[in-house]
Structure 1
Amino acid sequence: MSDDLDALEDWIGPLIERLQPAERRKLARDIAQVLRKRQAARIKRQENPDGSPFAPRKPQAREQAGAIRRGVMFAKIRQAKYLKGRGQADAATVGFAGRVARIARVHQYGLRDNVDRNGPWHDYPERRLLGYSDADRAVVRDMILERIGGAL
C-alpha cells in the first residue's frame, strides 16, 4: 500500500510543485477533508480499508443490558471533534485527536489494554480504523488532477 502512495507521490510531485504554496495548502486541506469524511463513513459501515468487516465484539456469557452492546462500535470516535483532517503545504493528514487517539491506536493495531481504569486487561482484535483503499487513492488522484488542470 505504501508503494502505491510512493508511486503516486513520485508521479504527481513535479506537477504539484507548479502550484503556488497557497494553492498547495488549499489542495491539501481539501484532500484531508474528503479523506476524513470517507474514513468516517467507512468506520460507520464497520469496514476495514480492504472492505472486510470489523472483527465483532466478544460474545458475553450473558446478554448485557443497555444500548452500548447493541449499538454500532466507534459511534462517537468518528465525529469531526475527534477524527481530524489537516492540510499543510506539503502534506494532508487524517488522524485522531485527544484521548480517543489511544483508543483508536489499540483497535488499529490490535493491542492489549485495560477495559476500565482498574479493570481487567483484554486483547483487542485488529480493526483498521484508518487506512486507504483503492477508491480513496482514486479520489485523491482525481482531486489533484482536477486542481492541476484548472491551475495550468
Structure 2
Amino acid sequence: MNMMQLETELSGLLQRVEPAARRALARDIAKALRASQQQRIRDQLNPDGSEFAPRKPQFRAKKGKIRRQMFSKLRASKWLKVEATTNGAAVAFVGQVERIARVHQYGLRDRVSRRSRRETQYPARELLGFAAADIEVVRDQILTHLSN
C-alpha cells in the first residue's frame, strides 16, 4: 500500500473529524514519522533499506578515526521539526542545516567548509523519505485515533 491508496481509503473518514482533532492527529503522525526518520538516519539507511554511501576517506592531521556517525547532529529534534495543520503534516529540516540536508538528500555539489573554496560532489543519501513501515505507522495512527 502506498500513500495515495491510504489517502483515498481514509479520506472520507477523516473529513468527518473536527478540524482541531485532525490537527492533533496530524501532529501525532508527524511526531511518529520524525521518530522513524531519526531512527533510520541513526541506522544510516535509505528509505528503501539500502545503506548510505560510506563517508569518503579523510586526510587528517590528527591520527585516529572519526568516531561520530554521519548526521548525528542533524537528526536532533532541534533541527528536524514537525509541522501540523488540519490538511496535513510535515517533517523537515529547518535553519542552517536545511542546506546541508538538501545537499546530501539529492547528492549535490557543495563546499567542504565555509572557508573552503574547493567544492566536492556528495553522494545521494536520502535523509527523509517514506519507507514501507512509515506508511503502516501512519495507517495505525489514523485507525487508533478514529477508534477512540
SS of 2:26's partner is helix
**CA deviation digits over 1:113-151, x for unaligned, max 9?**
01122421000000000001110100100110111122x
% of aligned pairs identical?
A: 50
TM-score normalized with structure 1 length: 0.90
Name which of 92, 96, 120 aligns with 2:93.
96
Moved over 6 A (4+): none
Name which of 31, 41, 45 aligns with 2:39.
41
Compared with structure 1, are the counterparts of its residues 90 and 103 closer, same or farther at alpha carbon in structure 2 (3 Å cutoff)? same
- How large is the Cα RMSD of the aligned pairs? 1.8
Compared with structure 1, are the counterparts of its residues 66 and 136 closer, same or farther at alpha carbon in structure 2 (3 Å cutoff)? farther
TM-score normalized with structure 2 length: 0.93
Higher helix share: 1
Q: Cα distance, 1:67 vs. partner?
A: 7.8
What are structure 1's unaligned runs of at least 5 residues?
Answer: none
Q: Cα distance, 1:70 vs. partner?
A: 2.7
CA distance in 1, matches of 2:6, 2:65: 41
Compared with structure 1, are the counterparts of its residues 82 and 135 closer, same or farther at alpha carbon in structure 2 (3 Å cutoff)? same
Task: Specify the code of the residue in structure 2 equivalent to 1:26.
Answer: A
Compared with structure 1, are the counterparts of its residues 88 and 64 closer, same or farther at alpha carbon in structure 2 (3 Å cutoff)? farther
**Residues 1-152 of structure 1: matches in 2 within 5 Å?**
4-60=2-58, 62=59, 65=62, 69-119=66-116, 120-150=118-148
